[in-house]
Each structure stands twice: as structure tokens, then as C-alpha cells.
Structure 1
Amino acid sequence: MQAGKVSTSWVVLVIIVVAGVALVGIFKIMQYRIIENLQQKIFVRSSFEFAYRFPKIKFSKLYNYSPPELANRFFDTLNVQKGTSKLLLDISGAALQILFGILLLSLYHTFFIFFGIFLIFLLYLIFRVNFYSGLNTSLDESNYKYKVAHWLQEIARNHLSFKNEKLFNYSLDKNDRLVSSYLDHRESHFTILRRQFIQLTGFKVLITAGLLIIGGLLVLSQQMNIGQFVAAEIIILTIITAVEKLFGGIELFYDVLTSLEKIGKVVDMELEDETGTVGYNLNDDKLCIEAEKLSYSFPDREQPILKNISLTINQGDKIIIDGENGSGKTTLIRLLSRVIEPTGGTVFINNTNYKKFAIDEYRSNIGSITINDNVFEGTILENITCKNPNIELQQVNEVLEALKLDAYIRSLPNGLETQVHSEGKQLNSSVVQKILLARCIISDPKILYLEEPLEKVDEISAHEIIDYLTAEDKNWTLVVISKNPYWKKKCNKRFLLEEGELKK
């Protein structure tokens, strides 16, 4: 080339270098595609895990938790998405650079082999010594972060109450305590990170000094030439750069592990046993339920809330469960509807142990309303039918008329397509109860389990709806808890509970 002639070696060099750069680019694009697919799969898998599990987690496992607070942990999926890609691309690349850099140095002299083994062991020791304390402090920090977030949700949910000056001051005081606790645990975690940074800085200094001194001594003793020494220095710079990447990845490493732990808190919760015995189906028109010596104890109580409950419910019965507050009415109706499982005794369905029937099989034949139920974000039609393709619009209109909801729907510009906000904020409470009741009866279930279904509906409309639900032409079984005395007139059976026991 200096002579002004085109050489074959130059052409080959250009082709190889250009092809190499292009190949690296192609591999990078493929790498990003793989990472993107991984991030999408993490998000999809996590969202469906949460959506599937929350309705099916055992009641006893959720008893001491706030489900909305647990649902917030889904946001840790974002940390896992971004963190995993960063760890796979940068941190793993840095670790490989250190490993192969030391291996490459060992080709210059056998002494580098022993020095490299010592450095790898030292690097492992730095992470091993700090791993558990770093993870534990990261978990503690994360716990208080969620406590702060949950308290802010509580303030937002009760924002009208917190307009009161005393409550407002209380909200700020509690937020101050939670934030202070978060900062204390954050500082504890930072102490671990700082210690690791100091140790890694020492590791970097040791690498730099050790390799430079060893390389220089080998050159002076003529065991390496100056060209090998320069090449070794380039490799040393690469190793130091890789150590710098490890610096930036330490906190991310703990964040990803903490996020996986927080998500695991939800996905590891025990689910209801949905399996039944093959061949046991509820195809009969009649559904007879017998409870034999049922009892139930809450996880945080030593004394059972229900004791030795034995009763029979025949198809078509209209039953009201009566009793003072705390007598166990809600617990009994939730046992019968299989929202919770008894801690003692058993239930028979059509003279067969209820465990023979899959829980989904049973729930598909009942309709239920609990006192905690509310509408979800969607249209009124979606809230009633849940987009069940087997439900026709005529059925919906008939139910709306029976529940005295048709006039209200006609008054809306978008009718059934009116959008409902979360918890039905723009709807009055009586309309919400009627929508929930419509959802409950639209599929004509065999049994209705209702907890205070009409307590917020005006008396005249409530009486008309009760007449409809208890009419003789309605073959469904009805079990209701209500303070409305009109139910007692329309029901043919009454179960009276006193201190967890059924009175005859």
C-alpha cells in the first residue's frame, strides 16, 4: 500500500473487517429481537398469572393481606422485564469479558493463569459475602415502598373523608412514618451497595496494579516482548471496563431478585382445589344440599365462628338466614356457595360429598352476591353478561324490567353501552346493586346466594324485586341474608344463627 499498489491482503482485510462489522450488527439485531420476545413473554405470563390466580387463591391465604396491595406487585414485572434484558446483555457480557480477558492473558505467560484464578475467586467472594444481606435489605426496602404506595391508595380511596382536618393531618403523619421507615431500610441497603462498590474498586485497583507490575517484570526479565506487553495492556483496559459494568449492575441485580420475590409472593399462594372426580356432574334440574356438622374457624381466631351446623336445602326453597351481627351468617352463606371451605364437617350435594364435584362445575350452577361485590370497569352490558355469547339481548331486557332498571337504562344516551368506571363511581348505589343482581340471575342459576342484595334500593322497588325473586314460577333455590323484614314474609324457611350455632 505504501508503494501505491493494491494488494490482495488489503482487499481481503477490508472484506473481512466490513463483513465482521455487518455480522456483529446482524447478531445485535437478533439479540435485541430475542430480548424483546423475552420481555413480552414475561409481561404476558405475569399478567395472566395474576388474572388467573386472584379469583382462585384460597380465602385463608388472602385473609391477612389486602388483595389490591398484592396486585400492585404486578408492577415488579416491569423491573424484571428491563432488568433481565440488562443483565443478559451487559452484565453477562461483562462477566465473559473478564473471564476471556484473563484466559487470553494466560496465553502470554503461565503466571497469568494463577493470577486469573485468584481474581475470579476474589470476585466470587465479593458477591458471595454480600449477597444475602443485600437481598434482605432490598426486600425490606421494597416492603416499605409498597406500604407507602398502599397508604396513598387508601388516601385516594377515602379522599372525601380525608378532607377533614384531623384525618388530613393523620394521613400526613402516617405517610411521614412510612416514608421514614422506607428511608431507613433504603439507607441499610445502600450501605451494602456502598460496601460492594468499595470492594469492587479495590478489585479493579488490584487487577490494574497486579497486571501492570507482572507484565512489566516479565518484560524486564525478557519473558515477554514489548508488543505482548502492549497487547496485554489493551486486554487489561477491557477487563477494567467490564468491572465498571459490574458496578452499574449490582443494584439492578438485587432489584430483579427482589421483584421476582415480590411476584412470587402472589404466584406461590395456594390455590383452591378445583379437581373433582371424573363422571360427577350437576346435570339434574334439582340441586339438594345437606350440611352435616359444619364448622369454620378464621385463621386468626381460636374459637370457631360456626359450630356443628346441620341443615338441608331443597330445590326451590326460599330461605333467609337470620341472626345478630357476628353470629356467622356471612360465613355460613359463603361456605354453602364454596367461597370458603369448612374446617370441620362436610357438605353433600344430591347425597354425594361435595368434593366429588369440581368447584367450577358447582359455581357454574349458582349465582352469588357478596357484600364486597362491585361493578368493574366496562359497559353496563358487559357488567351484566360478561360477554357471554349464549345470553341474548332479549334476556337482558327481561331481567332489567324485572329489576326495575329498564327506565334508568333508557334515560342514558348510550343505554346498555354506557361506560362504567371502576367501582361504579358515577352510578348511585341502588343502580349498582341492581346491576349486580342482574348479573347474578341472567343465566338462570339453580341456586342464588345473596348477601344484602337490596339494602340500598328504595322500599317499593325492593318489595317488587323480592316478589319477583321469590315467585312460585322461579324454580331456583334462594338463600339470602338481609335486614329487610319483607324477605321473612316471602321465604318459606328461616335459619336462625346464635353465636355460631343453628337454632331450631
Structure 2
Amino acid sequence: MNNDTNSARPFDPHRLLPAVEYLARVHATEVNAQAFQDALRRIGDPSRATAGTTPARLLATLAAEAGLATATVRRPVADVLADASPSYPWLAFHHTTDGRLETIAVLEHGRRGVKVVVPGSTARPVRWPVASLLEWLRVADTSATVEWLLAEPAAPLSRLRTTPGMARVGPDKRLRALLVGERQTLWVAVVYSVVIGLLSLVVPIAVQSVVNTIAFGSVIQPLVVLTLFVLVALGFSTALNTLRASVVEIVQRSIFARVSTDVTYRLLRVRADAFDRYHGPELVNRFFDTVTVQKSASLLLIDGLSIVMQTAIGMLLLAVYHPWLAVFDVLLVLAMLVIVFALGRGAVTTAITESKAKYALEGWLEQLATHLVTFKSAGGTTYATARAHHLLEQYLDYRSRHFSILIRQIIGSFALQAVASAALLGIGGWLVIERQLTLGQLVASELIVSAMVSAFTKFGKQLEVFYDLSAALDKLGDLIDLPLERGGGEATLPGTGPASLEIQDVQVSYDDDSPPALRLAHLSVPAGGRVGITGPNGSGKSTLADTIFGMRPPARGVLRIDGADQRTLSLRTLREHVALVRSIELFPGSIVDNVRLGRAAISMDDVSAALDAVGLLTDVLALPEGIHTTIQPHGRPLSQGQARRLMIARAIVGRPRLLVLDGALDQIDGPGERERLGDLLFDPAAPWTLLCLTEQPDVLSRCARVVTMRDGTCVDLTMTEKELES
């Protein structure tokens, strides 16, 4: 029996929409179904668009439009049955007898069969026998291999994000949104905590029985049985505590994975203007608050839940003993609420302010490590020290304000412990005298209240953990709220070879209140053209480069790449055809990784050819590990000039159709190096159109046309001798 889910036959891609909507519900994320539908409309003729592919592969291709990260794998059915879980279902597809496309999601396999959902047909999970699943998949047995699709949100923390134009989301709402993604695991932890809370009453109840047994002069046998029962119950409680710790560890790992995945997604798509007001590397340091979120969540789930459950169950038992003890419970709860909310008013705000002061100091220390020459210069050391001391004093002041609230709650907790213990002793003793309470119940009540109030005094530490958690979520919000580049757009740019560039009435501003940084009425670069852009610093050259590369979209006007409106192209497609070379931007990794950038289509021969073209291959091969030598962000062990040539090799290895050099040649001044690179980049046979932003006369002399910019606009357009001759 053959499985036709793997066959590449035409199908209606709109039938994939129920699968997308189902995945949105599973992952509790804001999947953009409208963007997915827009992507479906752009693919044109379904029979042509789906020919040669499978539903799983097409969905994996289009899912990014909907905010999903996907992977297609071929796995035996048996392996999927072993690995599937409700949190991460495995999706498969098949065609019905009348040609319709259907999807099935495998959730889990148990003794009662396989739990599945058929998106678009069954809204709730149903149990199928394994034989029914095999029949649906059209395979003979569980050893058969089927193509499956796995998906997860590309930005798992999208629900924590502040909606543009709305007030900033508070840490309490971010916390609730964060826990939604862990709701299934958290319920397990809550169940464990409830049972552990019940078992915590074993000792007080056992003591009550022992006291009563001794008071009545009973035999030894009940005491032995009671002791064994307590031992078994406490052993079971220990096992549950271990299991709960394991569950909380899973939550910690999940939080770290979700935050790192989300931040990676956002940093790769952040708008350039987001870093006009913030220093990017310093802002990314907020990521380390993920560890605070992990540890705080762990402590609150283990200790916090234990305190809440132990207190609630203990109060319930006291209320059973006597109505007066029920009144005592109510007063105790009111006192706890006063300590938590009334005495703790403003604690979250001061915790956030303290955290901001901490990061201000950390940011300044980062500047000291970055600008060594500046702060080793005359006056630099004095200024750096004075500012560090000022920021430290500011932090200590904010910390003191926060601690003044925290210490109020700590004092209130200990005062409550003293008053509650004494009050219960008095009330309980009176009830014993009045024979409304047994001596054993009094002892048990005292033990219960002592345990509750003692735990509540430790709750002061839990409150500090909660405040740290709130501040950490607020700091992570700085990353989650980063504005993102637009999504969607055409996936292809028609044509091959060098691309033309046309700019009409384009204006770009850095913010709404500032004048335009770029105003271009018209600029046209023919396919294969070699155009130079020059002008003083601040004339708008780099803004023009950013705009062409899609990093700063124009507020008005049209920019066309080979006749296609830049706004209609997906940014991924645009950057596959347009390369921008500016300053040195290297990352810790091998030379080959820095050139390739994960582009699978670029072979080792392509890398070697690009390095040879820029005159680096001989130098690189002379290194101990050759092209696999690890380099640092500043380029070492390469020189600055070699690092700049490596940046050019990275750009040309992908054979871009439009190459933009923003000062990339200006800092290359070795003997014959700039001339050699000029011969390479300005070669008429090169497969790109070249836009060279430079202030070097020898580079401009190679250009067929030179445009001079000032104050964000063209003030002169000069034809060189080459263009006049042509």
C-alpha cells in the first residue's frame, strides 16, 4: 500500500488554511491567517504552484507568512506515535477519493488508541485505533515512512508584546501571557502541590492521634501503625516533591527556549530605526533577565505553590475543628492580604526602577570596555570614574527605596507570626478548658498555624522573587516590543543579470519631528551601470544605501529594482538580489562561515574563488587552519584591510544583481589593493549593477556617472568621460 501524502500532485493550497488555524490554537500564538491567505493569492495558478511539491513542503514554505517556523521530516509512523504530544502535534496530509486535501494532527498514543485532530473536520481531539490511522495515512503498518510537518511559533512571545500605538504592557499581563504557553505543564505542578499540601497535614493529624492515644492510655499497636503510616505518607510526599522539581525544570527549559527563539526572530527582523535611540548590544543584555525569569518561576512554582496550598488546606482543617477557628482563619487571611498588598504598594514599580538603574550602570561599564583609547586619554579616566560613581549612587538610592517597601512586608510577616501563634494558643486553650476542643486538636492546630505562619514569614523572600520576576519581564519587554520590519511580499524578482535602479520622489525621515534625511526627486541607474555617489558627511549617502537595502522604508515615493516596486517584494527576496557592504561586520566563527552566511547554494569552491578575487586567498591559506580559521568580531587574526576585503568577498560570492558599497573602498589603502578591488568591482563583465558611495577621487574616476549629494538631496549630476564616450 502506498502513501500518497508524499506524492507531488496538484492540490488546492487553500485547503492548508485549517491546518494553520489549528496550529495557531495549539501554540496559543497570534498566527497571521490573513497574511497566509495573501501569500496563497500571490502564488497564482494552484496547479502550477503546487506541481512538483507536497502539501507539507508548501505549507513549510508559506508558514513563515503566518508567523510559524516549520520543518518537514520523513519518519516511520511508529516513531511519531512514540514522540507525539499535545503541545507539539505531528501533521500529515492526504488526498480524498474526490481529490480534496485533508490534514490530520497526531497528538499522542496511549492504551486507548491514538488521539488525533482533523483540522477543518473535527474541532476536538478524538481517539482512533492505530489501524484507523494507518488506513487514513494509506500505509500498511507502523514501520512505513510518511512525510510529516512540525511547526512552532516563529515568535513564541508575541502575546507578551505591546501593540503599537497602545500603552506599554505591564509585567503582570506579560507574566500571564508567558504562563499561558506553559499551562499544561503548570497544571501538573499544581496537582502535585495540592497533594503535597494534603500530605503536609499528616504530621499534625498524627500528633493529634498520638496525644489522644496517650491521654486515654491506649496500647502500643495503634502507635506503631500510625508511625508506619506517617513514614509511608512522607515518603510519598518526597517522591512527589522530586517529580514536581522535574516538572518545574521542564518549565525553566521551555521558558529559556521560547525567549531565545523569540529574541532571535525579532533581532533578525528589527527595524533599523529601533537602534536610533538605543545602543543595540547594550539593549540585548536584557536577554540575561531570562535567567531571572527562570529562577524566579522555579522558586514561585515550588516554594510559592507549597506555601499557598499548605496555608489553604491548613485553614480548612482549622475551620473543621471549630467555628471560632474559622473566624481565626478569616482574620489571618485578611492580615496576609494587608501585608502583601497594602504594605507592598509600589514594590513592583520600585523594582523596575531599580532594574533600569542597574542596566544604566552596566551600559556605562560596557562603554568603558569598548572605548579604551577614549577613557585612557587625558581626563577620560576621571570622567569615567565620576560617571560610574554617579550611576552607582543612583542605583543604591533606587535599591534603598525598593528595600524600604520590602522590609515593611518582612516586619509585618514576623509580627503576624508572633500574634497568630499567641492568639491561637489563647483561643485554643480556652476552647480546651470549655471542652469544645480536644487536647490533640489544640496541639495539631498549633502545629498547623506555626507551619503556616512560619512559611508566610519566608514568603517575604518569595515576594522579593516576584518583584525581581516583574522587573525582569519588564526588561525583556524592551526586546519583545522592538518594532519589526514588514512581512509579506513577492517571493521572486523577475529577470536575471544586473538589475536597474530607479528612484522617484523618495523621502526618508528618521522620526516624525525631524526634517527628511533623504529627498531624491529622481535617480536612475541602468542595468549594469557603474554610478558613484559622493558628498560630505551627513549628506544622506548612507540613508540612501539603507533605503535601497530595505532597512529604512521611504515615507513617500517609489523605488524600483529592475522595474519591480520595492514595496511589493519580500525583504528576503530583495536582499537575495541586493547586497550592501559598509563597515566591518564579522561574527565569531570560521572564515568560510563568515563568507557563506549559511547559504547552502554557495560551495567551498565559490568561497575560495571569492577570496581569491579580493586578494585574500593566499593570506587565508597561510593561516594555521586556512579558511576554517576562527576570526573575532573585530577581524583578528586578519588585519583591518583584510577584514574589509572579506566583507566584499561575502557580498560578491552570492552574485548580487545590485551591489551597494557604502564607503567600503575608502578605508582600503594598501599598495595596489584598492586598484585591484576596483578592477574587480567595476569590471563591465561583472554580473551586478554597482552603486558606489565614496569620497575617494580615484574611485569616482572609475564611475560612468557621479552624483553629488548635500543635505539629503542631489545637487550635482556629472557625466564622466566614460559616459560621454558611450
Q: Select the residue among 296, 301, 315 that pairs with 1:88.
A: 301
Residue matched to 1:245: 458
Tell me the distance in 2 between the aligned counterparts of 1:359 and 1:329.
Answer: 21
Q: How does 1:84-483 map to 2 (within 5 A)?
A: 84-131=297-344, 133-276=346-489, 281-285=492-496, 287-299=499-511, 302-371=514-583, 373-457=584-668, 458=670, 460-483=672-695
User: How far off its partner does 1:47 sit?
Assistant: 1.8
Q: Kindly report the root-mean-square deviation, in angstroms, between the aligned alpha carbons of the 2 structures.
A: 2.3
**Residues in 2 aligned to 1:43 and 1:472: alpha-carbon distance in whole angstroms:** 51
More displaced stretch, 348-357 vs 233-242: 348-357
Alpha-carbon distance change, 125 to 275 in structure 1, aligned in 2, over 3 angstroms: farther
Q: What whole-Å deviation, never above 9, does each CA across 1:200-233 have from its counterpart, x for those lacking one?
A: 2233233223322222222233221222111111
Moved more, 309-318 or 89-98: 309-318
Larger RCO: 1 or 2 (CA < 8 Å, sep 6+): 1
Contact 1:90 1:245 in 2 (8 A): no
> Residues of 2 paired with 1:11 and 1:445: CA distance?
84
Deviation at 1:289, TM superposition (A): 3.1
CA distance in 1, matches of 2:370, 2:548: 32
The 1:225/1:23 distance shift into structure 2, 3 A limit, reads closer
Whether contact under 8 Å (2:406, 2:460) holds in the other structure is no
* TM-score, normalised by the number of residues in structure 2: 0.65
Using the TM superposition, name which of 472-481 and 423-432 deviates more.
423-432
Q: Equivalent residue of 1:424, what SS?
A: coil
Q: Counterparts of 1:498 and 1:248 in 2: how far apart (Å)?
A: 60
Shift of 1:87: 0.7
CA contact (8 A) 2:344 2:406 kept: no
Partner of 1:76: 289
**For residues 220 and 463 of structure 2, what CA distance do their matches in structure 1 show?**
51
Structure having the higher helix fraction is 1
Cα separation, 2, equivalents of 1:21 and 1:10: 16
Aligned counterparts of 1:50 and 1:132: Cα–Cα separation in 2: 32
Q: Secondary structure at the match of 1:449?
A: strand
Partner Cα distance (1:210, 1:475) in 2: 89
Alignment CA distance shift 1:60-1:303 (3 Å): same
Count of aligned pairs: 498
SS at match of 1:106: helix
CA distance in 1, matches of 2:294, 2:663: 44
Instruction: Quote how far apart the aligned CAs of 1:476 are.
Output: 0.6
Q: State the alpha-carbon separation in 2 of the partners of residues 43 and 57 from structure 1.
A: 21
Of 35, 38, 45 in structure 1, the residue corresponding to residue 258 of structure 2 is 45
Does 18-27 or 177-186 show the bigger shift?
Answer: 18-27
The answer as to whether partners of 2:558 and 2:565 remain within 8 angstroms in 1 is: yes
Partner of 2:707, secondary structure, is strand
- Residue 331 of structure 1: how far off its partner (Å): 0.5
Maintained 8 Å contact 1:141/1:185: yes
SS in 1 for 2:268: helix
Distance 1:273 1:132 in 2: 41
CA separation in 2, counterparts of 1:308 and 1:465?
29
1:382-413: per-residue Cα shift (whole Å, max 9, x none)? 11112433222221222112111122113212
* TM-score of the aligned structures, taking structure 1 as reference length: 0.93
Distance 2:560 2:535 in 1: 24
| Deviates further, 20-29 or 140-149 | 20-29
Matches of 1:379 and 1:135, distance apart in 2: 45
- The answer to whether the Cα contact below 8 Å between 2:529 and 2:689 also exists between their aligned partners in 1 is yes
Task: Give the Cα–Cα distance (whole angstroms) in 2 for the partners of residues 44 and 29 of structure 1.
Answer: 23
Q: Does 2:239 match 1:56?
A: no
C-alpha displacement of 1:471: 0.5
Structure 1: runs of 5+ lacking an equivalent: none
Any conservation in 1 of the 2:508–2:552 contact (CA below 8 Å)? no
2:714 corresponds to which residue? Answer: 502
SS in 2 for 1:107: helix
- Alpha carbons of 1:229 and 1:32: their partners in 2 closer, same or farther (altered >3 Å)? same
CA deviation after TM superposition for structure 1 residue 65, in Å: 0.4
Q: How many Å separate the matches in 2 of 1:199 and 1:222?
A: 33
Partner of 2:203: none
Q: Is the alpha carbon distance of 1:480 and 1:344 closer, same or farther for their aligned partners in structure 2, counting shifts above 3 Å?
A: same
Q: Is the CA contact (8 Å cut-off) linking 1:193 and 1:251 kept in structure 2?
A: yes
SS in 2 for 1:347: strand
Unpaired runs of at least 5, structure 2:
1-213, 718-726
